[in-house]
Structure formats: C-alpha cells, structure tokens
Chain A
Amino acid sequence: MNRSQLWTLCRIAVFVMVILIFTPLVVPSNKSHPLVLGMPYTLWMGLLVSFVLLALTIFGSWVHPGRDN
C-alpha cells in the first residue's frame, strides 16, 4: 500500500470511530458496568476511544501525503 492509500484507510478508520462513538457500544444509556479499574463503562470506553483516535492521528501524521512539504 502506498502512502495515499494508507492515508485514505486512516480517514475511513476515524470515520468509523466517530460513528461508533454515538452507538450503545460507547455510550449505552444508563449503563455503568462492566467496570475497569473501578471506572464506569462510558468513562473507560471513552478513554479507550480517545487513545485509539490519538493512535490514528499519529499514524495519519506518518502516512499523510503532505508530510514532507
């Protein structure tokens, strides 16, 4: 895969993440379990989503077609 294709893949991954954020997978209504490290579900899942998005930003910065401009 070339840089441009990886960049497209990265954007698609972010798009999918954004959709997932608003589904019960991340924000289930009135549900606080299962707990992780004592944290309620929405909080630890939100943290996880934040780290995935940060990882995608790091990856995106490596494969961005304009990186060397």
Chain B
Amino acid sequence: MTKTLLIAGTIYIALLITITLLTKSKEKDSKTYFLAGANLGSVLGLFTFAATLFSTFTLLGMPDFFRVHGVGAWIFLAVSDMVMVFGILWIGYYLRKKTKGQDYLGMAGFMERCYESRFAGIVALLGAFIFLIPYVAIQIRGVAIFLTEAFVNGPAIWVYAVGIVLIMLSYSEIGGLKAIIYSDTLQGILLLVVIWIIGIRCLNEMGGLTATFEKVSQQNEALLSVPGPKGLFDFQFLFSSMVAICMIPFTQPQVSTRLIIMKNERSLFRTAIGLGTFAILVILPTVFLGMYGAINYPDASTAEFLGNTLVHDQPGFLGAFVLIGLVAAAISTADSQIFALGGETRSMLRGDDKKMVGQARISILVFAFLSLVFALLSSDELVLLARASFAGTALLAPMIFVGIFYDRSRFLVSLPWITMGAIVTMILSQLGLIEESIAGIRLDLMLLALLAILALVMIRIDKKRELRGA
C-alpha cells in the first residue's frame, strides 16, 4: 500500500500544484481573488458546490452514523439535502437578484448594506466565524484520526493535522478561489469514485443488498427503522436538522459565495439539479459502509471501524486511494470554509482594495491556525459537531432572509442584536451552561422559531409605521 500511496499521493499533489499555477492570477483584486471573476459555469459550479458540501462529515461521519443510528440517517442527510437543493432554486434566485449590481464580496458586507448597520455585518461575520471554525476543525480532525488509525506506527495526530492545513493553505493562498474551484472538481470526482468502489466492495462482501439487511436485522433490528437503537432520529431531531441544512446555502459563506458567482440563473439551476444527483450518489454508498460496520464492527470505536472498513479490509492499492480521497474530501471543504471567512472579513474592510485583500489573506492564516488548534482539542463526534455547526449558522437565517426579501430592512435595526443574543445563547448551550432542550423542545429549534416570529412581527410593525407615515 505504501508504494501505491506514494505514487498516487505524488500525482495528487502534482495535480494540485499544476491547478494552482495555471489558475494563479497576477491580479489580486477582491473580485478576482475572492470571487474567481464571478463567472462560474454549471459543471465547475456543480463540483465546487459538491466538494464544498460533501466532506469528511459525509465520508467518515455518515458511515459511522448509519452504523450506530441506522437507516434514519438517510432522512437526516439525503432527504434534507434534496429539500436544500430546491431551496437553492427558490431562495438562491432572490439572493442573486438582490445582490445584482452590488459590489458583493461576502454576506457580512451584504448585511451591513441591507441594514445600513455595521453591527449587522459584524453579527454575520461572527456567526459564521464561531460556528464554521468547529466545522473546519472536524474536517481536519476526522482525517487526522483516520490516518493515525490507518498507520499504526505512523506519526502523531498533530503531524497529519498540520500537514493538511499546510497543503490547504498553500494552494488557496496562492491561487485564490479559482484554484479552490478547480481543485474541488478534481477532489469531487476523486471522492465519488473512491466511495463507490469501497461501497460496492463492502456490499459484495456482505452478499448483496438483501443479505446485508437480513444480517443487520439479526444483529440489531432497531437499525432498520427510526428512531434507531439510541432513539436519536425523533421528529425534533430530523426536523431541526432539515431546517438547519436547508439554511446552509444562505448562512454559510462558502456556499452563498458560490451562489452569487454563478454565470447566470440557468447555470445555477443546472448546478442545483447536478448537486441533488451528486447528493444521492455520494450518500448511498455510505449506507453500505455503515451496514458493513454494523455487521462486522458493531462495538468498535469510530476510528477502529473506519480504519478497518476503509483501509485494512481493502486491497493495498485501494486503501491508498481511499486515504487520498479522504484527504481530498477534507481539504476541499475546509479550504472553502477558511477562504470564505477571509472573504467575509474582506467584505467588512474599507480602504485600498489591494491592501484590504492583503489583510484578508492574513485573516485566512489566522482562521486556519484557530481551526488547527480546535481540531486538536475537539471530540470525535463528527456528525453531531457538524450538526451543531449547521444549527448555529442557521440562526443567522431570519436576519439574512429579511435582508434579502424586505426592502426596508434598514428600519429593523434591533434584529441583528436579537440574532446576536440567540448566537450567545446557543454557545452557552454548547458549553453546557444552558440546557439543550427546554420543556422538551430543542433549544436550536426554539431559538430559530423565536427569531423567525420576531422578524415577522418587526416587519408587520414597520409596515404599519410606513403606512402611517404615508
């Protein structure tokens, strides 16, 4: 395996370097560097969306989620993703319409303009920062713990984590968003091919689809229905997860930026369809991997299960490709997120463009360092950490939607403050200082519902005020 890994790894790194050099632009203005010229076609759009959305969380987290919690995980992610894809068609259109003609550089700057309040921009930036750093961290940690499991006498976890961050930083810092988009295409194809090869191998190993579920049924029947053996997939969990996932294209800057930079609406719509197809294709083999784990490694730790299923149980050369595919998956998501945080920072800066791009690039280094630290300190519950991140950024949704849909959002100055209050409450709950559910209702769901109701009430009051004024 080591020989194949060295050869395939060298080819992979060489391709990344080539992409970076080919896409490197001498012009380092904001639009070229952070928005890749804002002229993205549907094919590149599809792969960069896909590689950004489907990551370590999907490829390492989801098989483990299926193994531990059962088939309800399909509703949790795949069905939610399909609703999200329709949301791209629906809300994405309005976001593009609203930002047309504006100098869009990031959601934070856009919010600042909508609300005519710097604080609104700061809330958008802070919300993205606070909840994306853990998400980036789990990409890094997920692959790092996997690599430590794959190479028993290999280096420590921090060596892998630093290596991943360095690869990611080197090409995104040099090539900007364009390099990220092209490398996403390479990485998106790689991860899809790798996950299917392993998925089919595991399915064959278990004797096909029917035999697989028969064996799982004998082992632990609760895995074949909701709420699953641990009771996780109840209505509230599935519903709040769907809401949070559907908000991602608008509340997570690495995705909203991609919506904005599509060439035209038709390209965006084609990308949405492609993304839906990609979602089904990439999540389906994780069911097979999860069921394989449920049969063969029901009591193993996450790292043991993944190390055995993805590497040790596979032929050497395939194990090597899995390792590269997983590193690619982690890098392609983490780089977009870190880079988007840089873009958000840039959208809040005023002054000479070149100087501001320079400052934003420094902020990317800072964000990467913070993610690295968090990666070394966080837990191994990849999916649940990712979900906390989705739920956290979803709190920005009412403020962002009011900015998109309501032309008089500048009169609703208290909404950003209330959103900030909700973010602080959510952090306190994540730290264990506030209960995660109140009166049996999940706090994230309650906060989001409260924010949405308050936003609607504020709009109503403002409309009445406008009528009285007229």
Decide if A and B are genuine partners: yes
Whether A40 contacts B238 in the complex (CB less than 8 A), given A14-B83, A21-B79, A67-B269, comes out as no
- Of A18, A39, A42, A56, chain B has the most CB atoms within 10 Å of the CB of A42
- Of B75, B93, B212, chain A has the most CB atoms within 10 Å of the CB of B75
Q: Annotate B83-116 by CB proximity to A: 1 below 8 A, 0 otherwise.
A: 1011001100100010000000000000000000
B264 to A69, Cβ gap below 8 A?
A: yes
Q: Which of B191-214 contact A (CB under 8 A)?
A: 208-214
- How many of B's residues come within 8 Å of A, CB to CB? 45
How distant is the Cα of A53 from the Cα of B264 in the complex, in angstroms?
23
Going nearest first, the 6 A-B pairs with the smallest beta carbon separation are: A38-B210, A53-B82, A61-B269, A40-B224, A32-B224, A46-B74
Q: Which of B74, B83, B227, B266 contacts A67 (CB 8 A)?
A: B266
Q: Which of A30, A37, A39, A60 contacts B86 (CB 8 A)?
A: A60
How distant is the Cα of A58 from the Cα of B242 in the complex, in angstroms?
20
A32 to B221, Cβ gap below 8 A?
A: yes
> Which B residues touch A30, using CB under 8 A?
222, 225-227
Residues of A within 8 A of B (CB): 11, 14, 18, 21-22, 26-32, 35, 37-43, 46-47, 49-51, 53-54, 56-58, 60-61, 64, 66-69
B209 to A11, Cβ gap below 8 A?
A: no
Q: Which of A38, A47, A66 contacts B214 (CB 8 A)?
A: A38
B71 to A57, Cβ gap below 8 A?
A: no
Q: How far is the CB of B166 from chain A (nearest CB, A)?
A: 38
B93 to A22, Cβ gap below 8 A?
A: no
Q: Which of B259-309 contact A (CB under 8 A)?
A: 264-266, 269-270, 272-273, 276-277, 279-280, 287
Residue of A nearest to B235 (CB): A22
A46 to B276, Cβ gap below 8 A?
A: no
Q: Annotate B232-251 by CB proximity to A: 1 below 8 A, 0 otherwise.
A: 01010011001000000000
B86 to A53, Cβ gap below 8 A?
A: yes
A66 to B93, Cβ gap below 8 A?
A: yes
Whether A21 contacts B75 in the complex (CB less than 8 A), given A31-B225, A61-B89, comes out as yes
Q: Which of A11, A21, A46, A61 contacts B272 (CB 8 A)?
A: A61
B162 in contact (CB, < 8 A): no
> Which B residues touch A41, using CB under 8 A?
225
How distant is the Cα of A31 from the Cα of B74 in the complex, in angstroms?
15
> Which B residues touch A40, using CB under 8 A?
71, 213, 224-225
Q: How far is the CB of A18 from chain B (nearest CB, A)?
A: 6
- Of B78, B93, B224, B233, chain A has the most CB atoms within 10 Å of the CB of B224
A57 to B222, Cβ gap below 8 A?
A: no
B72 in contact (CB, < 8 A): yes
Q: How far is the CB of A32 from chain B (nearest CB, A)?
A: 4
Q: How far is the CB of A64 from chain B (nearest CB, A)?
A: 6
Query: Other CB < 8 Å A-B pairs besides A50-B82, A54-B85, A60-B90, 12 of them?
Result: A14-B83, A27-B226, A42-B75, A43-B71, A43-B287, A46-B75, A50-B280, A54-B277, A57-B86, A60-B86, A61-B269, A66-B97
Residues of B within 8 A of A (CB): 71-72, 74-75, 78-79, 82-83, 85-86, 89-90, 93, 97, 208-214, 217, 221-222, 224-227, 233, 235, 238-239, 242, 264-266, 269-270, 272-273, 276-277, 279-280, 287
Residue of B nearest to A14 (CB): B86
A38 to B86, Cβ gap below 8 A?
A: no
B226 to A54, Cβ gap below 8 A?
A: no
Q: How far is the CB of B95 from chain A (nearest CB, A)?
A: 12
A27 to B75, Cβ gap below 8 A?
A: yes
Q: How far is the CB of B207 from chain A (nearest CB, A)?
A: 10
Q: How far is the CB of A7 from chain B (nearest CB, A)?
A: 9
Residue of A nearest to B239 (CB): A22
B213 to A39, Cβ gap below 8 A?
A: yes
- Of B209, B225, B287, chain A has the most CB atoms within 10 Å of the CB of B225
A38 to B209, Cβ gap below 8 A?
A: yes
> Which B residues touch A26, using CB under 8 A?
75
> Which A residues touch B270, using CB under 8 A?
61
B269 to A39, Cβ gap below 8 A?
A: no
> Which A residues touch B264, using CB under 8 A?
69
Q: How far is the CB of A45 from chain B (nearest CB, A)?
A: 9
Q: How far is the CB of B284 from chain A (nearest CB, A)?
A: 8
Q: Which of B72, B79, B211, B213 contacts A35 (CB 8 A)?
A: B213
A38 to B265, Cβ gap below 8 A?
A: no
Q: How far is the CB of A54 from chain B (nearest CB, A)?
A: 4
A67 to B280, Cβ gap below 8 A?
A: no
Q: How far is the CB of A12 from chain B (nearest CB, A)?
A: 12
How distant is the Cα of A48 from the Cα of B300 in the complex, in angstroms?
32
How distant is the Cα of A50 from the Cα of B227 in the complex, in angstroms?
19
How distant is the Cα of A57 from the Cα of B74 in the complex, in angstroms?
19
How distant is the Cα of A57 from the Cα of B273 in the complex, in angstroms?
6
B209 to A39, Cβ gap below 8 A?
A: yes
